[in-house]
Structure 1
Amino acid sequence: MEKRRVSIFDTTLRDGEQAPRNSMKPQEKLELALRIEALGVDVVETGFPASSPAEMEATRLISRHLTRARFTTFCRAVRSDIDCAVAAGGTRNHEVQILATSSELHLDRKRRISRKESIDEIVECVTHARRMGVPYISLALEDASRGSDELLRAQTEAGVEAGVTCVVAADTSGCMTPAEYGELVGKIRSWAPPSISVFTHCHEDFGLSTANTLAGLQAGADGVQTTVGGIGERAGNAALEELVALLSYKSDSLGLYTDIDTVAMYGVYEALRDIIGLDQPRNKAIFGTYAFGSAAGIHQAGILRDPATYEFVEPDRFGRERSLLIARHSGRSVLRHLLENMRVDVDDDRMEALYRRHITERVGGDCEDISVLRRRLADELLTVGAAH
């Protein structure tokens, strides 16, 4: 099967940053932008320049320091937003992303404009951006997952005729299942000519953002919009690391691949967490504290013999390390493993005594790293050895 390269559009600094408690200073955005670019992404979204002087400055900095990736600015379908974006970043290597109002719900309840007015503003703004010399223009169909086919097709075709280079299918409220989202992307792909890129933009409200993103790719999308760590509005966006990990392992069967540096992703996530003060979740895929940790005795017994027994995703491929945690569910296998490494032979009675003292009675409901248990065992055995 011939593999198709997936283009990665990173929106950590825009959709990710606009979520509560995720705000960043311009210099911090620049730091992350350069690290994200180094991963191998194709596009880095800088933010929403028209919203504040800080966003203007972030765009100015990032546009001048990126050396390979394209940069994108977020604009409403308002000419003055595009003017701000160009004033901040110029036109070279610049993609303007224009937000369309793409569901009847948003037209009626939020914007209070007609379908014709929504199409007219798309055409006006795309034409304006082209006249200013912007080389790349994407049309983001906001709330496309709840828009009618008639509205979405009319907006897509109008945008293409006006000169967009990309159409983004946004499941803004995260309401779709993979089958539904794949169908949506397939329709948009059929309405736009092959020369126009189609990108996904999925949210995590049902925990389906990665699955929906994959469904979009299988339906013909050329690229994806993701964030580092999945940060973003409400429950977040499709996580860069989850999609990259999936394509890393399933590339052959899916016929899809990326060029992302998988090992370096975790370092970018740590930098992001440090900047925005993000707590590390315990159980998040790829980046969770214990994503590659185990405490259950049955799992530890298998891992000690062969990590592949319980690890399909390998930690070192993603800049992580395997951890064995000692907790009340830990079995005797981890204790035997440590004693064998220490070249200490004990009988069954002594093993049971060590197990009770160092695991069941000591650890209780908490957990600790295996290295802590090793030090305790070494201290005890040295003490006992000295006494004899």
Structure 2
Amino acid sequence: MSSNRTPRRIGIFDTTLRDGEQAPGNAMSAADKLELALRLEAVNVDVIEAGFPASSPSDFEATRMVSDALTRAQVSTLARARRDDVETAVQAAGSRRHVLQILGTGSDVHLRHKLGITRQQAIDDAVDAAKFATSLGVETVSVGIEDATRGDVDYLRQLTERVAEAGARYIPVADTSGCATPEEFGELIAKIRTWAPAPVRIGLHCHNDFGLATANAIAGLQAGADDVQVTVGGIGERAGNTALEEICALLAYKSDQLGLFTDVDVTAIFAVYNRLREIIRLEEPRNKAIFGKYAFGTAAGIHQAGMLRNPATYEYVEPARFGRERTLLISRHSGRAVLRHLLAELGLPVDTDTVDEIYRVYIAERVESDCEDLSVLRRRLEADLISH
């Protein structure tokens, strides 16, 4: 069912270079981060989180380089709720077009077992850091609420209201452990939206431990959040983060239904993903949504028969829209329809006996793992049948 309301523009905040990079195996140099940041800016991402400047000289330098190079997108940094971290972040990224994210703490689990402080101490630290960042002229002071989905509602309200009063104009809400369901997350975001009305912007930072990061992000956006924090390919801690391509693909097709849209150039993000894979040596997944090797490929005969007549039979998401190509793959699960298609294209007989014999030789005797692109089989048939 379509919505009658005008779709609302959703901001895209990319944290590939920070949260994505901190996961095992995803290390990037400052030069790598700069290249990827420029590629992300070119596809119309709104905010690019360059790193955590106080954590290492490498993150400081990467942040400085990215901040200096960006011309349209905002640069973001992460800082603990400490004045020295805030000052270091400003030294690295300046104050103009800078989204400085102060890490607030949302749950008693983190307060007790990670920080060893009380709720009041956490609120006081976040408020002090936000006021200090404001005094330094930071364009957008942010206080993110880590582990918000396991936090007490009364405490979360107090934290949200206090940091907003202190000057925070962006409050990302994190499902840090990936424990929420869409219903739970949407309800939480709706509450926070009422506690921090505009001009405060609400962001979403979802992890994928239950495979719900995209669903949770959509629920949060529908509940009133303004932007979603994503990574290219969904890389990030443990099972990863909300994937840039999944959010953008969903909004590309469901904008009217959801009442949401983005300005990201969806045709260009696959190239960014491929470059990221090269940099961090990420193996190519076979079945990942949008970017998987076979996300737009099929080897099943029933599917192929339908797709040869009309790709829409089994293909709702169109590969060309995302810089991909459709592939029909030949395996022992392929049927005769694909052979009739190829033989007709080659001008060869398509009678039953011919098709059955070619099926036996080229398809039926394949082993389970033997799979090749349709174009390869076409070349083999040309060589074996036409030349002889």
Fold conserved (TM > 0.5)?
Answer: yes
Query: What corresponds to 1:77 in structure 2?
Result: 81
Contact 1:326-1:363 at 8 Å conserved across structures: no
Query: What corresponds to 1:270 in structure 2?
Result: 274
Query: What corresponds to 2:46 in structure 1?
Result: 42
* Aligned CA-pair RMSD: 0.8
Give the letter for the 1:133 counterpart.
G
Out of 332, 336, 350, the residue aligned to residue 336 of structure 2 is: 332
Give the letter for the 1:46 counterpart.
A
Out of 179, 185, 198, the residue aligned to residue 181 of structure 1 is: 185
Q: Pick which of 343-352 and 286-295 moved more.
A: 343-352
How many positions carry a matched residue from both structures? Answer: 384
Query: What corresponds to 1:366 in structure 2?
Result: 370
Query: What corresponds to 2:147 in structure 1?
Result: 143
Q: Give the secondary-structure state (helix, strand or coil) at the position aligned to 1:193.
A: coil
Quote the offset at 1:382 in angstroms.
2.5
Task: Identify unmatched segments of 5+ residues in structure 1.
Answer: none
Using structure 2 for the length normalisation, give the TM-score.
Answer: 0.98
Q: Distance in 2 between matches of 1:137 and 1:291?
A: 39
Give the letter for the 1:211 counterpart.
A
Q: Distance in 2 between matches of 1:193 and 1:306?
A: 48
Out of 201, 217, 225, the residue aligned to residue 213 of structure 1 is: 217
Alignment of 1:250-289 (within 5 A): 250-289=254-293
Q: Distance in 1 between matches of 2:62 and 2:213?
A: 28
Per-residue deviation, residues 28-84 of structure 1 (Å, max 9, x unmatched):
000000000111111000000000000010011000000000000000111111111
Give the letter for the 1:4 counterpart.
R
Out of 115, 119, 126, the residue aligned to residue 115 of structure 1 is: 119
Out of 222, 226, 230, the residue aligned to residue 226 of structure 2 is: 222
Q: Are residue 311 (structure 1) and residue 279 (structure 2) matched?
A: no
Q: Distance in 2 between matches of 1:202 and 1:337?
A: 45
Out of 242, 247, 250, the residue aligned to residue 246 of structure 1 is: 250
Q: Pick which of 318-327 and 104-113 moved more.
A: 104-113
Contact 1:103-1:143 at 8 Å conserved across structures: yes
Quote the offset at 1:383 in angstroms.
4.0
Q: Distance in 1 between matches of 2:23 and 2:266?
A: 25
Contact 2:44-2:264 at 8 Å conserved across structures: yes
Contact 2:331-2:366 at 8 Å conserved across structures: no
Contact 1:226-1:240 at 8 Å conserved across structures: yes
Q: Distance in 2 between matches of 1:180 and 1:140?
A: 19
Query: What corresponds to 2:240 in structure 1?
Result: 236
Give the letter for the 1:96 counterpart.
L
Give the letter for the 2:343 counterpart.
L
Q: Are residue 51 (structure 1) and residue 45 (structure 2) matched?
A: no
Per-residue deviation, residues 144-182 of structure 1 (Å, max 9, x unmatched):
000000111111011001000111110000000000000
Q: Pick which of 237-246 and 348-357 moved more.
A: 348-357
CA 1:193–1:364 in structure 2 vs 1: closer, same or farther (change >3 Å)?
closer
Q: Give the secondary-structure state (helix, strand or coil) at the position aligned to 2:375.
A: helix
Quote the offset at 1:135 in angstroms.
1.2
Q: Distance in 2 between matches of 1:61 and 1:347?
A: 65
Per-residue deviation, residues 299-336 of structure 1 (Å, max 9, x unmatched):
00011000011100000000000000001110001111
Give the letter for the 1:61 counterpart.
M
Query: What corresponds to 1:13 in structure 2?
Result: 17
Contact 2:53-2:77 at 8 Å conserved across structures: yes
Quote the offset at 1:230 in angstroms.
0.3
Q: Give the secondary-structure state (helix, strand or coil) at the position aligned to 2:103.
A: strand
Q: Give the secondary-structure state (helix, strand or coil) at the position aligned to 1:282.
A: coil
Using structure 1 for the length normalisation, give the TM-score.
Answer: 0.98
Contact 1:43-1:72 at 8 Å conserved across structures: yes
Query: What corresponds to 2:161 in structure 1?
Result: 157
Task: Identify unmatched segments of 5+ residues in structure 2.
Answer: none
Q: Distance in 2 between matches of 1:274 and 1:348?
A: 47
Q: Distance in 2 between matches of 1:366 and 1:178?
A: 40
Per-residue deviation, residues 334-373 of structure 1 (Å, max 9, x unmatched):
1110000001114322211110100111454321111111
Give the letter for the 2:328 counterpart.
L
Give the letter for the 2:360 counterpart.
R
Q: Distance in 2 between matches of 1:28 and 1:160?
A: 35
Out of 86, 94, 97, the residue aligned to residue 93 of structure 1 is: 97
Per-residue deviation, residues 240-263 of structure 1 (Å, max 9, x unmatched):
000000000000111110000010
Q: Pick which of 162-171 and 360-369 moved more.
A: 360-369
Q: Distance in 2 between matches of 1:364 and 1:124?
A: 62
Contact 2:344-2:350 at 8 Å conserved across structures: no
Quote the offset at 1:285 in angstroms.
0.3
Q: Are residue 2 (structure 1) and residue 6 (structure 2) matched?
A: yes
Q: Distance in 1 between matches of 2:30 and 2:327?
A: 36
Q: Distance in 1 between matches of 2:152 and 2:15?
A: 26
Q: Distance in 2 between matches of 1:350 and 1:368?
A: 21
